[in-house]
Amino acid sequence: MKTQLTTNLFSQLICSNCGDIFSGFLLNTISTCCNKPLLANYHLDQYLPKELIKVNDHSMWRYFSLLPIADKQNIVSLKEGGTPIISLDKLAANNDITSVLMKDEAFNPTGSFKARGISAAVSKAKELGIDRLIIPTAGNAGGALAAYCAKANMQCIVVMPEHTPTIFKNECRLLGAELILVKGLIDSCAKKVQEIQQSKNYFDVSTLKEPYRLEGKKTMGYEIAEQLDWALPDVIVYPAGGGTGLIGIWKALQEMLKLGWIKGPLPKMIAVQSENCAPLAMAAHHRSNWKENFLARPTIANGLAVPFPFGMELMLNVIESSGGQVITVSEQEIIEAIKDVSRTEGVLLCPEGAAAWKAIELLAKYKKISSENKVLFLNTASGHKYLESIKNYL
């Protein structure tokens, strides 16, 4: 008989600012003490040998013990996660880096890593008896929510900027969501969501205003460690929008340290943004007053167009405590990177993934990463979803 890793170690939610405790089995959104994101906590002092995971399935739910769902019956899955890590040897050699690894999130359902967070959020919503969900999105999260709501027989409203490429809109419509288009960026969509949510009684699954998308995204951290045989890269490069992946991967690393699954030193966490919308870069330099003169424009990397991320402080903490930094790249550089990588390695990156690769190229050029470093970046979606966006630059 196979041993199954079925114990669940989820304990409670805590305020990311002051540590106050909230129930993970009642409906909670943000901390009512400080109005900050809530983080899921686990009983990590319990003995949980990492070898046990090997018998579980190959979706992100193989880490069920470390995910916030009490009853496996509530899992809503389309087999998200378990994405490959690919070695980009030619790019590494051309840039004099020992190893460039890419975790290719294009392999997820709905073609982006948003599937991970949304699978966790929809599963938890089911566990809590919620069946009407609403989301502000720059594109990919809306498609993912529409898909998982269809699977779970839930009602779904997606609010998206009207300038978003058609493919993201049609994806939501095909998957049965109600689509609402709004002028502006995702922050304008979030305001619209606030209105609708109150009048129509829909539950808002905005990034970090709902505690569980982060938990789905953190599984990238577990997978990176497990797939690299628990020997972490020196640098992880992440294209950051709302920041769940950046915060989530770091959270997973901290959890694995406590579980004794990995040893330090931990990788430097590098966040990459588009010059058109780089609130992290602004905030890193002007921590208290960055919002005053902040201007954001749309970018071809629509996943990065998040002008006022709710998880700003958590992101800055990850970057600082890991010894990382923020890098910005131009639209031109993103497009060049898509072309370079597709011609060199045969992978069609999404613009967000291309931005991450470009950042590595810049870091290598200015000797900010040494030639011995093992570097890993995330290609966060399939480039095929962006063929329409890039057609004018071919």
Ligand X SMILES: *Cc1c(COP(=O)(O)O)cnc(C)c1O
Residue 140 touches which of ligand X, Zn ion, none (Cβ within 5-8 Å per kind)? ligand X
The torsion of the CA quartet 328, 330, 334, 339, rounded to 10 degrees, works out to -140
Residue 142 touches which of ligand X, Zn ion, none (Cβ within 5-8 Å per kind)? none
> DSSP for 308-343?
S-TTHHHHHHHHHHTT-EEEEE-HHHHHHHHHHHHH
Comparison of 24 and 248: residue with beta carbon closer to ligand X: 248
Residue 17 touches which of ligand X, Zn ion, none (Cβ within 5-8 Å per kind)? Zn ion
Q: How far apart are CA 386 and CA 379, in angstroms?
A: 13
* Position of minimal CB gap to ligand X: 303
Comparison of 88 and 350: residue with beta carbon closer to ligand X: 350
What is the smallest separation between the CB atom of 184 and ligand X, expressed in angstroms? 17
Residue 18 touches which of ligand X, Zn ion, none (Cβ within 5-8 Å per kind)? Zn ion
Residue 242 touches which of Zn ion, ligand X, none (Cβ within 5-8 Å per kind)? ligand X
**DSSP single-letter state for residue 74:** G
Residue 110 touches which of Zn ion, ligand X, none (Cβ within 5-8 Å per kind)? none
What is the smallest separation between the CB atom of 70 and ligand X, expressed in angstroms? 25
Find the binding residues for Zn ion in span 12-31 (CB under 5 A).
15, 17-18, 20, 31
Find the binding residues for Zn ion in span 70-89 (CB under 5 A).
none
Environment class of residue 228 by beta-carbon count within 10 Å: exposed (0-12), middle (13-18) or buried (19+)?
A: middle
* Cβ(335)–Cβ(324) below 8 Å: no
What is the smallest separation between the CB atom of 39 and Zn ion, expressed in angstroms? 11
Comparison of 59 and 140: residue with beta carbon closer to ligand X: 140
Report the DSSP pairing between strands 325-329 and 268-274: parallel
**DSSP single-letter state for residue 178:** E
What is the smallest separation between the CB atom of 244 and ligand X, expressed in angstroms? 4
Residue 239 touches which of ligand X, Zn ion, none (Cβ within 5-8 Å per kind)? ligand X
Stretch that binds Zn ion, among 32-40, 209-217, 249-257, 301-309 (CB under 5 A): 32-40
What is the smallest separation between the CB atom of 21 and Zn ion, expressed in angstroms? 10
Residue 255 touches which of Zn ion, ligand X, none (Cβ within 5-8 Å per kind)? none
Comparison of 3 and 321: residue with beta carbon closer to ligand X: 321
Q: How far apart are CA 142 and CA 179, in angstroms?
A: 9
**Can you tell me whether residue 23 is helix, strand or coil?**
coil
Axis-axis angle for helices 140-152, 114-127 (nearest 10): 40
Residue 20 touches which of Zn ion, ligand X, none (Cβ within 5-8 Å per kind)? Zn ion
193-202 LR contacts (CB < 8 Å, sep 24+): 193/134, 193/135, 193/136, 193/159, 196/134, 196/157, 196/159, 197/134, 200/132, 200/134, 200/157, 201/132, 202/132, 202/133, 202/134, 202/155, 202/157
Comparison of 48 and 102: residue with beta carbon closer to ligand X: 102
What is the smallest separation between the CB atom of 378 and ligand X, expressed in angstroms? 8
Q: Which residues bind ligand X (CB under 6 A)?
A: 112, 114, 140, 207, 217, 239-245, 303, 350, 352, 380-381
CA dihedral sign of residues 218, 219, 225, 227? negative
**Which pair of tokens denotes residue 155?**
């009602």
Q: Please count the residues of the chain.
A: 394
**DSSP single-letter state for residue 255:** H
What is the smallest separation between the CB atom of 158 and ligand X, expressed in angstroms? 13
What is the smallest separation between the CB atom of 164 and ligand X, expressed in angstroms? 11
Stretch that binds Zn ion, among 7-15, 95-103, 316-324, 386-394 (CB under 5 A): 7-15
Nearest alpha-carbon partner for 335 in 369, 380, 299, 374: 299
Comparison of 105 and 259: residue with beta carbon closer to ligand X: 105
Which H/E stretch holds residue 376?
strand 374-379
What is the smallest separation between the CB atom of 356 and ligand X, expressed in angstroms? 9
List residues bridging with 133 in a β-sheet.
156, 203
Binding site for Zn ion (CB under 5 A): 15, 17-18, 20, 31, 33-34
